[in-house]
Structure 1
Amino acid sequence: MSVGTDPQPISDTGAVESSCDTGPDEVSDRLLRSAAHSSRNAMVEIDWNAPLDPTKYGCSPEWSTLYGTAYWNEMTEEQRISLTRHEFASIMSIGIWFEMMLQELVFRDQYLTDYHRPEFQFAMTEVADECRHSLMFALATKKMVGTCYKPHPRLGRFAKLFKSTAADEVAYAGILVAEEILDVFQRGCMRDDRVLPFIRTVNEIHVLEESRHMRFAREEVRQRMQRVGWLRRQWSAWNVALASSYIVLSLVRPRAYADAGLDYHRAVAEMRHNHHFQSMVRSSCAHLMQFLDEVGLLTPAAARIYRKVHML
């Protein structure tokens, strides 16, 4: 059983990531070869009709937003299992939402580029992966709890503006942060034998394939930031941090607590003051924050936003 997180960037082959390949085309060429050999298909790997084990969690208990609170200590084992299933269904539903935004950002960036370049070809591979991931998440939430969760309507409107205007380093840094946030949860649960087996498989597939996407996004951010001046860097860093904060705050929707049979007013209040969960998120985002600092996107204004949502 493993419930920890790995602070090191893991490549698509499972090894610590190498920095030998630099530049979008060089990195994309390597990632294309990896995708051809190691992509997986949840539609055939998972038995979507198999019954659920009533004793298994939806995510590692330690990754529940209420773990360590007084409310958690009062719950029965059945309530804790139900809570983690609805929490992770919410996280996967929000994952579908920002994966759809991701696809639009990539399509817009690659529109009318050189279609022969590895950069374009891997971008299209990533979009295809995200379509499969969204379907996988949709089937997983349906099987586990029979419902899906959506962001607040106001956030939905803000996201429409973001995905219509974000470009260059803002687009790819936004993609990277969103992918890293979901990756944090899944790495912490994918080898935990207390978690539903099919959810562990979902996590393994997503972590494997998102490692390629994150490598691609990091290289795109590095390249775009080379020609960014001071003023634009301040704006881009703030914009990415603001979008990231909204995603983090939306991962577990209040209705998930109600659907799990809890008093959602109390649950939300205790979640907001849960130092254990805040510490888990902060430690798991250390590598991401290091990268943003390295490329100049961890400005003082951005850092204040990340601290508010416990990513820093």
Structure 2
Amino acid sequence: MTPVAAPPARDAHYDEMLRTLSEGSVHVHFDPYEDIAWDSPELQIDPDDPAWVLSPEHDPLGATAWYQAQPAERQREIGMWRIANAIRVGAAFESMLIRGLMQFAVALPNQSPEFRYCLHEMTEECNHIQMFQELVNRIGVDVPGMRPWLRLASPVIGGVLAVRPVSLMVAILAGEEPIDHYQKALLREEGTVPPAVRRTMEIHIAEEARHISFAGEFLRLRLRKIGPVQRAFLSVTFPLTMRIACEEIMTMPRPLTKKLGVPAEVHREAFWRSPKSREIMAGYFADMRALATETGLMTPVGRRVWKALGIDGEPSRYRGEPDRSARVVA
């Protein structure tokens, strides 16, 4: 009888982390229709709520002199459309990452602890999509969301990423980090987002912490074993993926800014020509610069790519550290 091959050696620390994350998903999780009181008076959407005004510190459009010079009613209107569109784009990105994660998970061998956690994560992401779409529907503005070309390409992108697990985890981080950083910055300030938006952000941040932890630990484990050629390749594609995702998630599409009467030069200033907007964008990725440094991807060539893309700066000293400073190209 041919002996059964022994399974590959596992990393005990990594497996324990997966068990911890899986148990966390069992015992600390949220349902969009049980844990959000959508019909309560305090969560009703009020177009006149001053919290719709975009933050001049954390939102690149809110930082422009043009936006700050608009009447309060116009600021609220533009803010409502911008926030709703970013939420819809975030939901579309999560659906794309679910495709890749599902194809990755179903190909895992028996006894893999990654399988269980991946299914927990996808369950949470499905809840986030429901939560985001319910919020957009209640805001009541017909935002376009993801750009048409990316919507059409998303099934292919998800499938390709599924067979390149390292690239899949980089894409997950690229899709989560900008909006996670943006939401945390807003939640640190009182009155910067309406109550219903704040509640969805709180839930999203709480559960995305697990997703980001998984992707980061996956990369730390896998990147210890890659060769110099692949490391050199990833040192370039890592920041490039971050920048592309940021462009899609955090930039208002031009048709929407045109609809809202935002001048073309203001759109260019906000995304991402001005020093302030580039500082905001670089701030999204302090944790990712720390991860790249830790895993050896912040090579001399890689560092130049981060700088050329306008997302270089200091790495964070700990996960979720508020912005300190970002050295960016003006």
For residues 51-90 of structure 1, what are the alpha-carbon distances to aligned partners after superposition, in whole Å with 9 as ceiling and x for unaligned?
Answer: 3232243464532222332212321112222222222222
Distance 1:159 1:42, change over 3 A: closer
Aligned with residue 190 of structure 1, among 172, 187, 190? 187
1:66 aligned residue: 61
Structure 2: unaligned runs, 5 residues or longer: 1-10, 313-330
Aligned to 1:216: 214
Question: In 2 relative to 1, CA 283–194 (structure 1 residues): closer, same or farther, beyond 3 Å?
Answer: closer
Unaligned residue ranges in structure 1 (runs of 5+): 1-20
Distance 1:164 1:306, change over 3 A: farther
Look up the match of 1:29.
Answer: 19
1:285 deviates by 1.9
Q: TM-score, normalised by structure 2?
A: 0.79
Q: Distance in 2 between matches of 1:85 and 1:311?
A: 27
Q: Deviations over 1:193-237 (max 9, x none)?
A: 231101000100000000001111111111111221111122233
Change in 2 beyond 3 A, CA 1:202/1:109: same
Which range moved further: 83-92 or 128-137? Answer: 83-92
Give 2:281's aligned residue: 281
Partner in structure 2 of residue 240 of structure 1: 238
Matching of residues 283-298 of structure 1 within 5 Å: 283-298=283-298
Moved more, 174-183 or 262-271: 262-271
Would you say the 8 A contact 2:240–2:309 is kept in 1? Answer: no
Superposition RMSD in Å: 2.4
In the alignment, residue 39 of structure 1 is paired with which amino acid?
Answer: H
Q: State the identity %.
A: 22
1:1-312 aligned at under 5 Å gives the runs 23-49=13-39, 51-53=44-46, 54-58=48-52, 60-156=55-151, 159-166=154-161, 167-191=164-188, 192-251=190-249, 252-259=252-259, 261-271=260-270, 272-312=272-312
TM-score normalized with structure 1 length: 0.83
Q: CA separation in 2, counterparts of 1:291 and 1:152?
A: 29
Tell me which structure has the larger Cα radius of gyration: 2
Greater CA deviation, 279-288 or 34-43?
279-288
- Change in 2 beyond 3 A, CA 1:235/1:162: farther
Aligned CA distance change for structure 1 residues 86 and 288 (closer, same or farther; 3 Å): same
With CA pairs under 8 Å and 6+ residues apart, which has the higher RCO, 1 or 2?
1
State the distance in 2 between where 1:307 and 1:140 align: 36
Q: Secondary structure at the match of 1:79?
A: helix
Q: Give the Cα separation in 1 of the matches to 2:121 and 2:282.
A: 27
Following the alignment from structure 2 to structure 1, what is the Cα–Cα distance between the partners of residues 159 and 94?
15
- CA gap 1:142/1:254 in 2 versus in 1, 3 angstroms: farther
Cα distance in 1 for partners of 2:103, 2:13 equals 20
Contact 2:84/2:139 (CA < 8 Å) preserved in 1? yes
SS at 2:144's partner residue? coil
The separation in 2 between residues aligned to 1:168 and 1:214, in whole angstroms, is 15
Say whether the 8 Å CA contact 1:168–1:221 is kept in structure 2: no
The aligned counterpart of 1:5 is none
Check the 8 A contact 2:94/2:129 in 1, yes or no: yes
Equivalent residue for 1:10? none
* 1:124/1:152 CA distance change after superposition, 3 Å: same
Change over 3 Å in CA distance of 1:293–1:149 after alignment to 2: farther
For the residues of structure 1 that align with 2:258 and 2:191, how far apart are their CA atoms? 26
- Structure-2 change in CA distance of 1:289 and 1:205 (3 Å): same
